[in-house]
Structure 1
Amino acid sequence: MNSSRASELCWFTAEFRLNRFHFLSPTISSDYSKMAVNSIRIAAAQMTSINDLAANYATCSRLVKEAAAAGAKLLCFPENFSFVGAKDGESLKIAEPLDGPIMNRYCALAKESSMWLSLGGFQEQGSDAAHLCNTHVLIDDAGHIRSTYRKMHLFDVDVPGGAVYKESSFTEAGKEIVAFDSPFGRLGLTVCYDLRFPEVYQQLRFHHGAQVLLVPAAFTKVTGEAHWEVLLRARAIETQCYVIAAAQGGKHSEKRESFGDTLIIDPWGMVIGRLSDKVSTGITVADIDFSLIESVRTKMPISQHRKPIEFWKQVSK
């Protein structure tokens, strides 16, 4: 690398570090005067859901209060926030439509706390008694469901050193990419295993205008240790979006354990929110800074440099 190129790279890196300085040590605070003018505070939750709807709701309710006290206006929950079965078939038994009592209770929680909620991985009734949909539900601060996304990529794998999973045996795959305009920017909704398929996130950014990517998850301990953070940071870097990844962590039952490590990542790929304990129950808080999104995308305009699909069809002949 020549000296001019090296100097340019050093300037570029230093400027971005300065731009995101106030994110490096996110703290729980309700002092809005400390927030950037062009930003809004959000939070991501970490929990260990079990096969008890009431117990999980109590945990979620407590975390909502913590997020509200921290000044957050959006709280993101992990996949299977309301229920994790201990035995095969339990999730199907509790599956409900979106207007059922389980979701109605969470809508009421959002309204009572004046908090937007991202509920990742709700067991929504499917088209028949043998299937459900793994549905990401976005609720506004008035308690209204504003958007839903049904998980497209189902976890059918034999994890090396772990268990065999067959999500498709009881889950219907979604067929639509979902992005939604909100006070927190244009949100791209995904769920867990989607993370391994970068084309979903490319579509959300470059064809649906996403600024913030939501990735609620319940990664296994084995796959989480190997791939969780690197995949999340890659998705943030290649899309120049914030990534909010709320995670299940710890032992749900004798048969199931999740990796945890809830993360919030900025458009430069830096971790700006993380719990100190990978499997503890709690929240991490950060500010979505819209000027940072614009700055990153302006200084490195990858949207202009991408090759169109027609180009790849031509060169792959």
Structure 2
Amino acid sequence: MSLCLPVTPHITLPVGLTKSGRPQQCRSLRVPRRATVSAVYSVMAAASSVRVAAAQMTSINDLASNFATCSRLVKEAASAGAKLLCFPESFSYIGARDGDSLKIAEPLDGPIMQQYQSLARESNIWLSLGGFQEKGKDDEHLCNTHVVIDNEGNIRSSYQKIHLFDVDVPGGMVYKESSFTEAGKDIVAIDSPVGRLGLTVCYDLRFPEIYQQLRFQHEAQVLLVPAAFTKVTGQAHWEILLRARAIETQCYVIAAAQAGKHNDKRESYGDALIIDPWGTVVGRLPDHLATGITVADIDLSFLDSVRTKMPLAKQRKPLDFWKPASL
């Protein structure tokens, strides 16, 4: 289920059950002013699920301005009942010139990240911060790091982008991320209130092997894809690739996105999406360039049903199955 903000009246329903079958807590869910009966039942069905949100924004070369935008979106997500809000790659900063990102790069315990930790704690919400400029081993390199913060402001895990964007986009830009970025080496998954999260960043999306590993070796249920896809590649492949990753892994996919023109040289495609394990888009902003959030409900019982009816985990072949037979 996906809701478009703003919405008006609300109803209070139980969220989750204890082992004895009693409601664990209550949550206030908003219902459109002229909701149909079916819409009300959709909201009621979502009461047994966990709400998440994906952000869409246009970051610039101003840390304070980007933080102000993120703060506003965090408040909107918390008000909508989301337990996790996902921000796009480079959420805190996009430089106007080559080398700008290196100048502002900081360790994860620096003041920039501490601001976002406070934001999570104050709003009582988990944050997925995709593509933070983490200071590298020397002044010439940084790490493109996806950081997950819990609702108490603690850094729960971080993932350094493995696949770096070294491309000459047809009809677009030439980009060599490896010239200033250290590639990560480790696949990362982490438990959260919305399920087991698999962490990736942007260009990773084109490499299905990492998502297969996250699902079948690391038991991920929700794949996070914070991104800043170019306009050219986004138009051609963004939604197709995201839906493919959801279908082939039978996971939810949350894809936060940079959108629009950041400066004279750089433009992002936008279109933040939330996709269910059947490949259906369940969350999307009406305007793929607007700043805002889309919210949807993660239903792990639906995920389990999809996996039970089509048991890919049992049917997939081990890697050594594909080795050529000896002559």
TM-score in same-fold range (> 0.5): yes
CA distance in 2 between partners of 1:314 and 1:121 (Å):
39
1:176 pairs with 2:153: no
Structure 1 pair 254–225 and aligned structure 2 pair: CA distance change class (3 A): same
Deviation at 1:32, TM superposition (A): 5.5
The alignment partner of 1:124 has SS state of: strand
Give per-residue Cα distances to partners, 1:192-223, cap 9 Å, x unaligned.
00000000000000000000000000000000
* Match among 102, 126, 131 for residue 136 of structure 2: 126
Match of residue 203 from structure 1: 213
The alignment partner of 2:68 has SS state of: helix
CA distance in 1 between partners of 2:159 and 2:243 (Å):
22
Answer whether contact 2:131 2:145 (CA < 8 A) is retained: yes
AA partner of residue 3 (structure 2):
P
CA distance in 1 between partners of 2:11 and 2:85 (Å):
18
* Match among 271, 275, 279 for residue 289 of structure 2: 279
Answer whether contact 2:124 2:152 (CA < 8 A) is retained: yes
Deviation at 1:37, TM superposition (A): 5.0
Answer whether contact 1:31 1:71 (CA < 8 A) is retained: no
CA distance in 2 between partners of 1:84 and 1:57 (Å):
12
Give per-residue Cα distances to partners, 1:215-239, cap 9 Å, x unaligned.
0000000000000000000000000
Root mean square deviation of aligned Cα: 1.3
Answer whether contact 1:249 1:257 (CA < 8 A) is retained: yes
1:258 pairs with 2:268: yes
Match of residue 105 from structure 1: 115
Listed as ranges, the matches of 1:157-196 within 5 Å are 157-196=167-206
CA distance in 1 between partners of 2:125 and 2:292 (Å):
17
Deviation at 1:36, TM superposition (A): 3.2
CA distance in 2 between partners of 1:315 and 1:307 (Å):
15
The alignment partner of 2:223 has SS state of: strand
Match of residue 137 from structure 1: 147
| Number of residues of Structure 1 aligned to a counterpart in Structure 2 | 294
CA distance in 1 between partners of 2:234 and 2:326 (Å):
34
The alignment partner of 2:3 has SS state of: coil
* Match among 57, 67, 70 for residue 60 of structure 1: 70
Match of residue 85 from structure 1: 95
CA distance in 2 between partners of 1:37 and 1:107 (Å):
28
Deviation at 1:73, TM superposition (A): 1.1
What percentage of residue pairs aligned between the two structures are identical? 75
Structure 1 pair 306–74 and aligned structure 2 pair: CA distance change class (3 A): same
Normalising to structure 2: TM-score of the pair?
0.88
CA distance in 1 between partners of 2:86 and 2:154 (Å):
16
Deviation at 1:121, TM superposition (A): 0.3
Match of residue 26 from structure 1: 3
Answer whether contact 2:4 2:285 (CA < 8 A) is retained: no
Deviation at 1:314, TM superposition (A): 3.8
Structure 2: 5+ residue runs without aligned partners?
Answer: 14-43
Match of residue 46 from structure 2: 36
The alignment partner of 1:286 has SS state of: strand
* Match among 147, 154, 159 for residue 157 of structure 2: 147
Structure 1 pair 203–82 and aligned structure 2 pair: CA distance change class (3 A): same
AA partner of residue 203 (structure 1):
Q
CA distance in 2 between partners of 1:68 and 1:161 (Å):
40
Answer whether contact 2:119 2:153 (CA < 8 A) is retained: yes
AA partner of residue 59 (structure 1):
T
Answer whether contact 1:74 1:118 (CA < 8 A) is retained: yes
CA distance in 1 between partners of 2:210 and 2:229 (Å):
18
The alignment partner of 1:60 has SS state of: helix
Answer whether contact 1:56 1:83 (CA < 8 A) is retained: yes
Give per-residue Cα distances to partners, 1:36-59, cap 9 Å, x unaligned.
354100100000000000000000
CA distance in 1 between partners of 2:107 and 2:159 (Å):
14
Match of residue 235 from structure 2: 225
Structure 1 pair 125–31 and aligned structure 2 pair: CA distance change class (3 A): farther
Structure 1: 5+ residue runs without aligned partners?
Answer: 1-22
Deviation at 1:310, TM superposition (A): 1.1
Give per-residue Cα distances to partners, 1:257-306, cap 9 Å, x unaligned.
00000000000000000000111000000000010110000000011110
